[in-house]
Amino acid sequence: MQEKIVSPKESKKRKMLLMLPLITFPFLTFLFYTLGGGRIEAKTAESAEKKGFNFNLPLPKFKEDSALDKMSYYDQAAADSIKLRELIKKDPNYFDNKASEEKADSFSTGDFESRMLPKNRSAFNSQSFQDRNEQKVYEKLRALEKVISQPSVPTYGQDMREFENYGTSKGESEEIRKLEGLMSAMSAPQEADPELQQLGGMLENILDIQHPQRVQERLKQTSDSKKGKVYSVQKKAAENNISSLQRNADSQSLLKTNAFYSLDEAPPAEEMQNSIEAVVNQTQTIVNGSVVKLRLMNDIFLQGTIIPKNTFLYGMAALKGERLEVKITNIQYNNSIFPVDLAVYDMDGIDGIYIPGTISRDVAKSSAYRSIQTLGISGISDSWGAQAAGMGIEAAKSLMSKKVKLIKVVVKAGYRVLLYDEKQKNLKP
């Protein structure tokens, strides 16, 4: 027998036909399952086995508001009820039967007669359902208009006072008095409510917290209003340290005041000091406009701040006769500058430091200045050398005259002075 030779193309075709069922079988099975194959018999078997109540409840199917929960439904119901009440208030023809049945027992015959519809009014008119209090107010207003429209009654004497309210009922006159009192109370000016003021202060604080720029603007306004203000300086009072282990520093004052006084005598008044002790810190040669350095000998109070002793003060000097006047306009302490108005007094109580011999020194310097001015070069030719020499002499004259004219004084270190606050000049000590 001859063997049949198979071509490579045919062998590939056979292999593909052999593998085709293995590839298509899973797809056919999946397609059969998705189309519902084999499920009907399982459902009929389950229905045959389970009989009685169905314990599996179907889930609710929401259309648009599927994201709402239970509380959201409650909120929606409350909003719907609020809208319904607003519509009822706006409807003038709405009549609540339930409310009328609840209030029917509490109505008296007078109330029923007052609420009956007049003959000339329709049931669809909103004025027919007026409140009883509203009707009373309208009646009182009509009575008031009636009284106002009446002509003025002539005044009578005391014997005719009993006929003042003649022609008007007692109840009507009392109602008129009540209305007049109510109108006078409404027209009277009302006092400020403290609760409203407290609430206003709280609101201001809340606004300041929310907007800090308001506080900055307020501080700027206060600083502008206090611009140019000079602080007063006070001497710090000595502290009385009471202790059995420490010697009393005020023993001399105790000896003076510790005595018996009669009814006619009064204890000596405590001495008030309105000046501050200071000393010149170092020996200085001073001219007009120089800065004098002083040092405090006691603690002082300045705008609630304690300035300790040995603090340096600086003032501008000015020579006037035999007095060296020193004015202190600022005090610097702890990187703060306090504007003050202090004048330096000598121990004799006169403004300025006493400088003896200043007048004679001034006279000598003025005479030297005049003698220097008279110096000059005469009898010299008009050559260039002579002109240069003349210019040099003039420059030397101007320099020497300025030095001679400038008066200098020396203030020694440790010189005691008193600082006086110029703001307290008009105040009694």
In single-letter form, the type of residue at position 143 comes to: A
The confidence score (pLDDT) of residue 295 equals: 94
Which CATH number do you get for residue 298? 2.40.128
The confidence score (pLDDT) of residue 112 equals: 46
Q: Which of 119, 152, 185 is the last residue of a domain?
A: 152
Q: Please tell me which of 176-190, 250-264, 380-394 the model is most confident about, judged by mean pLDDT.
A: 176-190
Place 398 in a pLDDT band, splitting at 50, 70 and 90.
low
Residue that the structure tokens 């409510």 belong to: 193
Q: Which of 94, 125, 152 is the last residue of a domain?
A: 152
Would residue 23 count as lying in a domain? no
* Residue 296 burial (CB count, 10 A): 19
Would residue 10 count as lying in a domain? no
The pLDDT of residue 149 is above 70? yes
Q: Which of 152, 178, 207 is the last residue of a domain?
A: 152
* Residue 300 burial (CB count, 10 A): 21
Place 277 in a pLDDT band, splitting at 50, 70 and 90.
very high
Would residue 366 count as lying in a domain? yes
The confidence score (pLDDT) of residue 109 equals: 46
User: In this structure, are residues 276 and 261 in contact, taking their beta carbons and an 8 Å threshold?
Assistant: no
The confidence score (pLDDT) of residue 345 equals: 94
Would residue 31 count as lying in a domain? no
Confidence (pTM): 0.38
Q: What pLDDT digit, counting tens, does each position of 316-368 carry?
A: 988 887 888 999 999 998 888 888 889 999 999 899 998 886 545 554 555 55
Give residue 326's domain range.
274-377+386-429
With H, G, I as helix, E, B as strand and everything else as coil, classify residue 281: coil
Would residue 399 count as lying in a domain? yes
Would residue 197 count as lying in a domain? no
Q: What pLDDT digit, counting tens, does each position of 30-77 carry?
A: 888 888 776 666 566 566 666 677 778 777 776 665 677 788 888 889
Q: In percent, how much of the chain has pLDDT > 90?
A: 10
- Nearest residue to 280 via CA among 350, 348, 346, 357: 346
**CA angle 361–362–365, rounded 5-degree value:** 85
Would residue 49 count as lying in a domain? no
Query: Which residue has better confidence, 280 or 255?
Result: 280
Residue that the structure tokens 């705008």 belong to: 303
Structurally, the chain folds into a number of domains equal to: 2
Q: What is the dihedral of CA 415, 421, 427, 429, to 10 degrees?
A: -40
Would residue 371 count as lying in a domain? yes
Could you tell me the CA-to-CA distances from 2 to 5, 6, 8, 9, 152 in Å, in that order? 9, 13, 19, 21, 156
